[in-house]
Structure 1
Amino acid sequence: MVAAAGFVFAAVVYVLAVLTKAGQTIENAALRGADQDNVTESDAAWDALGQITVYSLAAAVVAVALVGVLRKRWDLTVAAVGVIVVGQVVVQALKRFVLPRPELVEVTGDYAHNSLPSGHTTIAMTVLFAAIIVVPWKWRGVMLFFVLPWATAIGQYTLTAKWHRLSDTLAADGIALAVAALAAWWLQRKGSLQPYTGPRRAGRVVLVVFWSFVAAATLALGGILWGFSLANEGLNADEWVIYLGAGTFATAGSLIAALTYLACWRRIA
């Protein structure tokens, strides 16, 4: 069900944002609004995205595989590595060969190119999901403390750096979640997953509650920014406000995807 919901969500995002004039207009306004961000924020975004390379991706795959090998859990290793690899295969195939971007509004240069789904967002989210799969239950909270903030920030960084549109990051969240859910489903079918019956980890509960609050707050803030601006000014809304709303929606989308997948693994060893 989660896998199906992820794919459907990505499809709906594509239809609304790419195949409608209003969607393209709003997202292009957000890209132009990013030009008004300060240099410090832009440089930070470029630095964070620049660290995601073929080599760093390979290192992440090796690290995930190494955890599984050290645990002598080949099933978890295959599932975790598969999430990262399959995630990239799916999004790159969709972006390069499958999904068109019709010219519904007058644009030039990079704005005319299809960039959905975001490969960088997919990498960040699938690495997080792979870590959830392969890391032992007692260390899952520690892993989340370090990996979750980084993974969920990448989507927003792609907007700040103007590498991607909001729809690119949201579609990537949905696809990454769907692929990871299928991997978990495969593990369950194999009998690889067992319920955890030990005590609850208070620190992890606090962490999840905190990020759930952040997800709700950013989602509400994005709705307020876009709601008032679009209601009062229509498609001619202030580009800076549209950009700010897109950034908060990007953060909320990644957090909701992460928390949804984490909920699927609640008390699962």
Structure 2
Amino acid sequence: MAARRGVWSFAIAAVVLAAAFVATYVFFVRTYVGQIVDERAFVGASSQHDLVYRLTGMVLGNVPTVAIGGGVLLTLVIGLVTRRFRHLLVALATGGIAVIAAELAKHVFLERAATGATDLLGNSFPSGHATVAAAAAFAIFVVCPPRWRPLAAVLGGAFAVLTGVLLVIQQWHRPSDVVAAFMLVAACGCIGGIALLLWRVPEAVPPARTLPALWWIAGASAVASGIAFVIIFITVQNHGSHLQIAYAGGGAAILAVGSALAAAGNALFRRIS
């Protein structure tokens, strides 16, 4: 009965995340107002100091290597040492599916509408780099024993959020691209959770600790992002205005979603051994 409730929890979460992904795409990629909000955050990030810009470029250039190479290696080491072979298979499969889905969505299925909000019409939604970072974090999280998962959730979430903010600073992606990547990985992670439950993985005794601090961070960041969104929304016709507010709001949105998904993921997986 407990396993059945767990399956339903993961299934509902996956549906909610999929709906949120679609809503994010429709608003920020297909509508004029959404593109303006996203574009102002994107342009506002360009005013960062040259040193910051150079450093972020160096860091982002190594994200695929660190996330794919280091993430896969660490996942394999933890999975093999702890003999959690089912977790290892689910972790690698889930990460791979998320990355493939992101690339297909960006290059095959989704298009950026020509609304007149910007001349940059190439679709960048969702971010491949953010997907890789979040997928690597999730893979390590899954193979960790329950007592270490809260720490893995915090560190992995921080790595993904930092990558996302740097992507905006470096002008590689808009905030919605990053947020959507997190949602995509989380939805795939829910499917991975269902797979573990159907595979009859034992229940964790005791369950993993919860992460209330992450919920507070997510809530405060969401409020800050919401205020910035309202300011940009009501001044949508004032082109080029409030760029720094938009940039701060976009960064806050990335932090809010990343923190909330890390906390929620830890809560959903806390009873899976």
> Is TM more than 0.5 here?
yes
2:47 matched to 1:36? yes
1:122 to 1:193, Cα distance in 2 relative to 1, 3 A? farther
CA contact (8 A) 1:25 1:235 kept: no
Q: Secondary structure at the match of 2:63?
A: coil
How far 1:153 moved relative to its partner?
1.9
Cα distance in structure 1, aligned partners of 2:229 and 2:154 = 31
Q: Secondary structure at the match of 2:236?
A: helix
1:48 to 1:215, Cα distance in 2 relative to 1, 3 A? farther
Cα distance in structure 1, aligned partners of 2:272 and 2:66 = 32
CA contact (8 A) 1:22 1:235 kept: no
Cα distance in structure 2, aligned partners of 1:136 and 1:186 = 17
1:6 to 1:53, Cα distance in 2 relative to 1, 3 A? same
- Residue 230 of structure 1 is matched in structure 2 by 233
- Residue 4 of structure 2 is matched in structure 1 by none
CA contact (8 A) 1:187 1:193 kept: no
- Scaled by the length of structure 2, the TM-score of the pair is 0.87
Equivalences for 1:52-201 in 2 at 5 Å? Answer: 52-54=63-65, 56-105=67-116, 107-108=118-119, 111-197=120-206
Structure 2 residue corresponding to 1:242, chosen from 228, 243, 246: 246
How far 1:139 moved relative to its partner?
2.3
CA contact (8 A) 1:83 1:179 kept: yes
CA contact (8 A) 1:75 1:187 kept: yes
What number of residue pairs does the alignment pair up?
A: 260
Q: Secondary structure at the match of 1:194?
A: coil
Cα distance in structure 2, aligned partners of 1:44 and 1:256 = 27
Q: Secondary structure at the match of 1:53?
A: helix
Q: Secondary structure at the match of 1:163?
A: coil
Q: Secondary structure at the match of 2:80?
A: helix
Q: What letter corresponds to residue 156 of structure 1 in structure 2? A: V
CA contact (8 A) 2:28 2:176 kept: yes
Percent of residue pairs identical:
23
Cα distance in structure 1, aligned partners of 2:52 and 2:230 = 25
CA contact (8 A) 1:173 1:254 kept: yes
How far 1:6 moved relative to its partner?
1.4
Moved over 4 A (4+): none
1:177 to 1:106, Cα distance in 2 relative to 1, 3 A? closer
- Residue 214 of structure 1 is matched in structure 2 by 217
- Structure 2: 5+ residue stretches without partners: 1-11
2:256 matched to 1:252? yes
Cα distance in structure 2, aligned partners of 1:220 and 1:52 = 29
CA contact (8 A) 1:212 1:259 kept: yes
Q: Secondary structure at the match of 2:123?
A: coil
CA contact (8 A) 2:35 2:118 kept: no
Which moves more between the two structures, 61-70 or 49-58?
A: 49-58
